């Protein structure tokens, strides 16, 4: 992958933002390899992502950030200048099911996913060997169904000890406590095994089977305190029919879950996902 800086911005919309920002980039010699803009008419909000070849910039990333700060302040921007060479640390939480975890690990191992995975945390032991084969620490934390709080606290502490930039719930199946949600707002990604907002909560495949839907789906979203109601990053579906049992739905759904999660995670890691209210702008 090429070394780039990503200048990601959102702010109230007005005339001249693109001109000012691209003027700034050009003044510093920045060669744009990709640029995306979106103006949300309803909220009058503006979104922008500029990808700049690192070697074209005449100054360091840090100097660039300092130079940009006054402009950002003038326009009331939420913004970041991200260096693509600094790999994000993605801590994965898994449960018993292996498909999403195996998929992420293989993409990472084959060089497709540009991040570090400092550890995998699970409340089951069955995936330890697979994780450790990849050279990644596996942290087992038993969850006492009668008293989940200590385990939840330990898991959050582990994520922080491993300096997670991003937390992925790879079919983790546990409700996340509010403090953990807040600490990783916009950085904690869940894959839900239904086409949300259909079949919120537990057992979505059973519900889909009972309703007799002709497509099943999966939804990747940022985790908020409201279960399965966070900003949606990506969704997809697959066709099913009367021939499929509930177990078939579970099996077919796995393929959708893992591809939806992979696409969402990739876009998150490339700073292509901007959250605005309870919705996302995805510059893919």
- Residues marked active site are found at 228
Q: Which residues pair with 5 in a beta bridge?
A: 52, 83
Q: How far apart are CA 68 and CA 224, in angstroms?
A: 31
Site residues (CB under 8 A) for its own copies, limited to 89-118: 98-99, 102-103, 106, 110, 112
Sheet holding 215-222, edge to edge: 138-140, 120-122, 90-94, 166-170, 188-192, 215-222, 232-239
Contact 46, 17 (CB under 8 A): yes
Taking residues 233 to 252 in sequence order and writing x for each that binds its own copies by CB under 8 A, - otherwise, the string is: xxxxx---xxx-x-----x-
Site residues (CB under 8 A) for its own copies, limited to 112-151: 112, 129-130, 133
Minimal distance, residue 141 CB to its own copies, in Å: 23
Of 42, 145, 146, 147, which lies in the binding site for its own copies, with binding defined by CB under 8 A? Answer: 42
Contact 278, 248 (CB under 8 A): no
Of 168 and 208, CB closest to its own copies = 208
Cα angle vertex 76, ends 74, 77, to 5°? 110
Of 3, 12, 33, 161, which lies in the binding site for its own copies, with binding defined by CB under 8 A? Answer: 33
Site residues (CB under 8 A) for its own copies, limited to 197-216: 197-199, 211-215
Of 47 and 180, CB closest to its own copies = 47
Bridge pairing between strands 78-83 and 90-94: unpaired
Q: How far apart are CA 174 and CA 41, in angstroms?
A: 37
Of 23 and 160, CB closest to its own copies = 23
Residue 197: cis peptide before it, omega within 30 degrees of 0: yes
Alpha helices in 84-175 (DSSP H): 99-109, 128-133, 149-161
End-to-end CA distance of the chain: 16
Please report whether residue 281 would count as binding its own copies according to CB under 8 A.
yes
Please report whether residue 61 would count as binding its own copies according to CB under 8 A.
no
> How distant is the alpha carbon of residue 177 from its chain centre?
18
Of 22, 82, 165, 174, which lies in the binding site for its own copies, with binding defined by CB under 8 A? Answer: 22
Please report whether residue 70 would count as binding its own copies according to CB under 8 A.
no
Please report whether residue 16 would count as binding its own copies according to CB under 8 A.
yes
**What is the contact surface with its own copies in residues (CB under 8 A)?**
15-16, 18-20, 22-23, 25-27, 29-42, 47, 56, 98-99, 102-103, 106, 110, 112, 129-130, 133, 195-199, 211-215, 217, 231-237, 241-243, 245, 251, 254-255, 259, 262, 278-282
């Amino acid at each position: 992958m090429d070394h780039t800086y990503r200048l990601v911005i959102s702010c109230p919309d007005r005339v001249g933002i693109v001109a000012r920002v691209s003027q700034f980039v050009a003044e510093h010699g920045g060669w744009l390899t990709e640029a995306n803009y979106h103006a949300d008419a309803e909220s009058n909000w503006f979104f922008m992502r500029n990808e700049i070849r690192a070697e074209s910039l005449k100054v360091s990333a840090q100097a660039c950030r300092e130079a940009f700060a006054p402009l950002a302040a003038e326009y009331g921007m939420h913004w970041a200048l991200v260096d693509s060479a600094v790999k994000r640390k993605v801590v994965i939480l898994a449960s018993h099911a292996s498909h999403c975890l195996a998929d992420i690990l293989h993409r990472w191992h084959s060089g497709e996913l540009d991040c570090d995975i400092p550890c995998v945390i699970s409340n089951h032991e069955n995936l330890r060997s697979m994780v450790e084969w990849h050279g990644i620490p596996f942290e087992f934390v038993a969850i006492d169904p009668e008293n989940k709080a200590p385990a939840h606290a330990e898991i959050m502490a582990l994520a922080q000890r491993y300096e997670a930039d991003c937390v992925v719930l790879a079919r983790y199946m546990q409700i996340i406590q509010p403090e953990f949600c807040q600490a990783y707002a916009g950085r904690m990604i869940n894959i839900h095994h239904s086409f949300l907002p259909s079949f919120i909560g537990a057992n979505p495949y059973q519900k889909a089977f009972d309703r007799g839907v002709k497509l099943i789906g999966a939804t990747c979203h940022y985790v908020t305190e409201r279960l399965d109601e966070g900003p949606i990053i990506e969704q997809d579906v697959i066709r099913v029919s009367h021939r499929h049992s509930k177990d078939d739905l579970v099996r077919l759904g796995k393929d959708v879950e893992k591809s939806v999660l992979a696409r969402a995670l990739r876009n998150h890691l490339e700073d292509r996902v901007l959250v605005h209210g309870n919705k996302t702008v995805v510059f893919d």
